[in-house]
Chain A
Amino acid sequence: MAIASHKQRVIVVGGGLAGLAGTVRIAEAGLPVDLFSVVPVKRSHSVCAQGGINACNEVARQQGYSEYEHFDETIYGGDFLANQPPVYALAHDAPAIIDLLDRMGVPFNRTPEGQRDLRLFGGSLYKRTHFAGATTGQQLMYALDEQTRRYEAEGKVIKYEFWEFLRPIIDDNGVCKGIVAQDQRTMQIRAFRADAVVMATGGNGLIFGKSTNSMMCTGAAAARCYKLGVKYANAEFIQVHPTAIPGADKLRLMSESARGEGGRVWVPAIKQADGQWGKHPRSGEDARNIPDNERYYFLEERYPAYGNIVPRDIATREIFQVCMAGLGVGGQNQVYLDLSFKPREELERKLGGIIEIYRKFAGEDPAEVPMRIFPGVHYTMGGLYTVYTPASDLRGMEEGAHNNMMTNVPGLYAFGEVNYQYHGANRLGANALLSCIFDGLFCGVSVANYVRDNAAAAAADAPASIFDNATRAEEAIVQHYMNAKGGENPYLIAKEMGDEMTAASTVVKSGPRLEQALTKLGELRERMARVSLADVGGWSNSNLTWARAVSDMLALADPILRGGLARRESRGSHYREDFTQRDDPNFLKTTVAEYDPTTGESRITFEDVETGLVQPRKRDYSKTGKPKTSNDPAPAARSHAGAGV
């Protein structure tokens, strides 16, 4: 390993779990880190995660579970679209990651003996989910926030909070040498040099208007990389959670356990003479006044065996279709999730936490009236295209290899939800926190090695012109908005984009509908060119920030639609009503999108998935036993989080 030049620095963009884990690992390796975030890092979106974090543990292991099983579940849950070596490494590092977080002081729930408690979660028959109350994401992130603060106090990390990433700076050889960012208060635009840049900017839920995501999850940072030549993969794979609380401002998640505890899903409807259900004249009024024979329990009627506890993707699709047919409660996009028939004492005891969220935000008591829920865009499986060096036997990634989670631009990395690895076509619950922290820790070492081994070409010595040119390009974009007089309103364009993307490209998709959405997108891009701002001030101008984000969201919406159009099959979260089956011969492939600056559209190609460890098999959760078609012939005892370079 080479010695880092004292001039060398690393930039991390984003201060959620992935960004903070990466920052801590890189700072620990002795490289100074500049950490950029649009919010104080302690307020990042990772705080919204509730359920927990998966890892094999001693109890499950003695029941027959293993890291290999965790790996297999993740691949199977993702409908075989994930590259297998990184997932293998993820599952095998998970126990050490839990231990580390435990040492950092995360208040994990405990057993009577004082051991870490475990809960059952989707996609597994073993208890392998560690949790801290109902705020696991918040607790894990605070632990990493605290460790980052420690390095900050020691002068090894400099935080740039309320700074927005505007673009990566790529030199004439195509290598990333820094970023341009903007202070959201002074509105100053500045170039920052760096020997490596880590994007850890999360998902893009806001492209769909309302989602379960936080308000900074626009995908704009990823889009800005994509527009400058970074490939974007599996854009069409967006997880829609079946039960969220529709709010006037966002969708808030309502845990699946509500249905697990007996919750019934229904809409008010009148059964017609032909046996079909039709609109109810009093739909939307007090649900308690709707008699039982005017309640359409559509999941129970269509799936007599499983009823309300059908798998997530089916529940999501059915709720969506009922609403599209105009049967939603009050004609709106909502159905009832009813627990009001259950004893109040039982609800408080088993579901207290989520009942409280509903009370607080919907202002109604689920013990009295049914909850109003609707599927909500939740997680971005796709993301910036990244590569890695597989271990020679494909069991994991080579530790410390320069390119682990590097994009196609050398020196530019993507960690966490913003990359496309690990989750394939569908993410399993409680694997997101794990993949974010894993990326930061495991691939943080790769970043440090890459920087050290390129000490001879330090960014500090790069010509000033590439930084000046990048800054000027961004200043020109700002000038454009400040002078624009076209009269279009960015807030209304964003709303139309969100409505269109939700209607065309979430739960149920079809070729013609996606084509129609692409036409709409083109029209919105044209209108975006004529946008003008209500606020042209030079201090803390959030109107400008939002307008810029909308323009970038429109660019990223294109591969989401075009990828969905090219993928003429159904797999995981991607359901095409005109191609309802999984088609491995043609589409067991990664969708790769490249931006065409002349048209503002994307070019789609397909690339093989690395499936060398587990052979693809049919995904079928209707049976309780998982087919045992694969076994790890040589389960090596590994502990990546513990092995350094």
Chain B
Amino acid sequence: MTTTNAHAAKPKGPAPRARTVRFKVKRQDAPGKAPRWEEFDVPVEPNANIISCLQWIAAHPKTRDGKASTPISYEVACLEEVCGSCTMIVNGKVRQACSALVDFYAPNEGDTITLEPMSKFPVVRDLAVDRARLFNDLKRIKGWVPVDGTYSLGAGPTESQEKQGSRYVMSTCMSCGCCLDACPQYTLEDDAKKWDSSFVGAAVINQVRYFNMHETGKSLEKVRLDVLSGPGGVSECGNSQNCVKVCPKEIPLTESIADMGRAVTIHNIKQFFTGR
């Protein structure tokens, strides 16, 4: 949901020590429009995060020089860092705005926090971007376990605690796109026709590894490795290791990339000799 609702109800009782934080927000009215900067002075309460400040601005849409403005657009849902919606660039670093605490970024009166939209996806409006390419790539790699329908056929395969542990971490990927935004090889691509030949990036490579690890999921292993060995595949990784540094779920992305790199090599050699 792209929204700006602001009903941050203040608890009863004496007002906590008020402090003002300046927000410098990169705004853009629509795709193709020129971006501009606006500044807002926001009174913050203890435990304020970036979202509560954006909510305050929505209810009081005036810039710091008193000019009438509009609520700032951004994607938002869970506010618990499990949905991936509110990903944006906070003081130059990509992350979820919900878990970005104001006290950390702006500890003193008058400090400034800068907000920009993610840089590798087309801007929809203000801080909201269109991450359709990422979901398109999940389709390309057939990111699912090909079950025989939803009727009762007994339990799935048993699994060791160790394997469950590594699959679980990989499965916490919320398709937020932090790893893609930080990647030098992943570049902005407005043209959907070019998505199928552009670098897929760490999140998608990790999903290939995740599904190929599953007993039933690996029946599509070859199809997935075909995607990763083609244009925009795993070989385009430049090994900057930025992805793993910005992943909010601490998924071992570089390990996944290395693992899939090896799998693609073996896949290609097999194909060379067998033609399959």
Among B4, B83, B153, point to the contact of A542 (Cβ < 8 A). Answer: B4
Given known A25-B150, A498-B9, contact A546–B4 (CB-CB < 8 A):
yes
A-side interface residues, number (CB < 8 Å): 96
Whether a CB of chain B sits under 8 angstroms from the CB of A199 is no
**Nearest CB of A to B207, in Å:** 9
* Bound form: Cα–Cα A485–B81 in Å: 38
Contact at A150–B146, with CB atoms within 8 Å?
Answer: yes
Whether a CB of chain A sits under 8 angstroms from the CB of B82 is yes
Among B2, B83, B149, point to the contact of A47 (Cβ < 8 A). Answer: B83
Contact with B along A86-98 (1 / 0, CB 8 A): 0000000000100
Among A110, A114, A360, point to the contact of B81 (Cβ < 8 A). Answer: A360
Among A28, A102, A138, A246, point to the contact of B82 (Cβ < 8 A). Answer: A138
Whether a CB of chain B sits under 8 angstroms from the CB of A184 is yes
* Bound form: Cα–Cα A328–B14 in Å: 11
Contact at A494–B52, with CB atoms within 8 Å?
Answer: no
Contact at B79–A215, with CB atoms within 8 Å?
Answer: yes
Contact at A330–B16, with CB atoms within 8 Å?
Answer: yes
Residues of B within 8 A of A549 (CB): 5
Within 8 A of A (CB), among B133-192: 135, 138-139, 142-147, 149-156, 158-161, 164, 167-168, 171-172, 174-175
Contact at B12–A331, with CB atoms within 8 Å?
Answer: yes
Contact at A43–B9, with CB atoms within 8 Å?
Answer: no
Contact with A along B34-63 (1 / 0, CB 8 A): 000000000011111101100100110100
* Bound form: Cα–Cα A644–B161 in Å: 34
Whether a CB of chain B sits under 8 angstroms from the CB of A489 is yes
Contact at B150–A100, with CB atoms within 8 Å?
Answer: yes
Residues of B within 8 A of A545 (CB): 2-3
Contact at A110–B161, with CB atoms within 8 Å?
Answer: yes
Contact at B82–A48, with CB atoms within 8 Å?
Answer: yes
Contact at A185–B47, with CB atoms within 8 Å?
Answer: no
B-side interface residues, number (CB < 8 Å): 85
Within 8 A of A (CB), among B78-113: 78-85, 98-99, 101, 103-104
Contact at A99–B5, with CB atoms within 8 Å?
Answer: no
Contact at A135–B9, with CB atoms within 8 Å?
Answer: no
Q: For residue B84, which residue of chain A has the nearest CB?
A: A43
Contact at B135–A42, with CB atoms within 8 Å?
Answer: yes
Contact at A103–B216, with CB atoms within 8 Å?
Answer: yes
* Bound form: Cα–Cα A433–B71 in Å: 34
Contact at B216–A214, with CB atoms within 8 Å?
Answer: no
Whether a CB of chain A sits under 8 angstroms from the CB of B6 is yes
* Bound form: Cα–Cα A502–B5 in Å: 18
Whether a CB of chain B sits under 8 angstroms from the CB of A495 is yes
* Bound form: Cα–Cα A143–B167 in Å: 13
Contact at A540–B144, with CB atoms within 8 Å?
Answer: no
Given known A40-B135, A47-B82, A103-B145, contact A114–B161 (CB-CB < 8 A):
yes
Contact at B52–A546, with CB atoms within 8 Å?
Answer: no
Contact at B143–A149, with CB atoms within 8 Å?
Answer: yes
Contact at A249–B98, with CB atoms within 8 Å?
Answer: yes
Given known A184-B2, A639-B152, contact A135–B47 (CB-CB < 8 A):
no
* Bound form: Cα–Cα A328–B99 in Å: 25
* Bound form: Cα–Cα A50–B273 in Å: 48
Whether a CB of chain B sits under 8 angstroms from the CB of A229 is no
* Bound form: Cα–Cα A25–B4 in Å: 34
Whether a CB of chain B sits under 8 angstroms from the CB of A362 is yes
Contact with A along B1-21 (1 / 0, CB 8 A): 111111111011110100000
Given known A184-B1, A489-B59, contact A142–B9 (CB-CB < 8 A):
no
Contact at A498–B146, with CB atoms within 8 Å?
Answer: no
Stretch at the interface among A390-398, A531-539, A582-590: A531-539
**Nearest CB of A to B90, in Å:** 15
Contact at A115–B158, with CB atoms within 8 Å?
Answer: yes
Instruction: Name the residue in B103, B168, B174 with the highest tally of chain A Cβ atoms < 10 Å from its Cβ.
Output: B168
Given known A100-B150, A103-B147, A546-B4, contact A333–B11 (CB-CB < 8 A):
yes
Residues of B within 8 A of A47 (CB): 78, 82-83, 174
Whether a CB of chain B sits under 8 angstroms from the CB of A128 is no
**Nearest CB of A to B40, in Å:** 13
Within 8 A of B (CB), among A97-126: 99-100, 102-105, 107-116
Whether a CB of chain B sits under 8 angstroms from the CB of A382 is no
Contact with B along A215-227 (1 / 0, CB 8 A): 1100000000000
* Bound form: Cα–Cα A107–B151 in Å: 20
Whether a CB of chain B sits under 8 angstroms from the CB of A156 is no
Question: Which B residues fall within an 8 A CB radius of A?
Answer: 1-9, 11-14, 16, 29-30, 44-49, 51-52, 55, 58-59, 61, 68-71, 73, 75-85, 98-99, 101, 103-104, 124-125, 128, 131, 135, 138-139, 142-147, 149-156, 158-161, 164, 167-168, 171-172, 174-175, 211, 214, 216-217
User: Could you pull out 20 A-B pairs where Cβ atoms are within 8 angstroms?
Assistant: A39-B75, A39-B77, A47-B83, A103-B147, A105-B217, A110-B164, A113-B158, A147-B147, A162-B2, A214-B79, A246-B47, A248-B45, A248-B48, A252-B80, A494-B5, A535-B70, A540-B125, A542-B71, A543-B71, A546-B71
User: Given A105-B214, A210-B9, 11 other A-B contacts at CB below 8 A?
Assistant: A24-B150, A43-B75, A107-B159, A150-B144, A331-B14, A333-B11, A357-B80, A363-B103, A441-B150, A494-B5, A644-B151
Question: Which A residues fall within an 8 A CB radius of B?
Answer: 24-25, 28, 38-40, 42-45, 47-48, 96, 99-100, 102-105, 107-116, 132-133, 135, 138-139, 142-143, 146-147, 149-150, 152-153, 162, 184-185, 206, 209-210, 214-216, 246-250, 252, 323, 326, 328, 330-334, 357, 360-363, 374, 441, 489, 491-492, 494-495, 497-499, 502, 534-535, 537, 539-540, 542-543, 545-546, 549, 639, 641-644
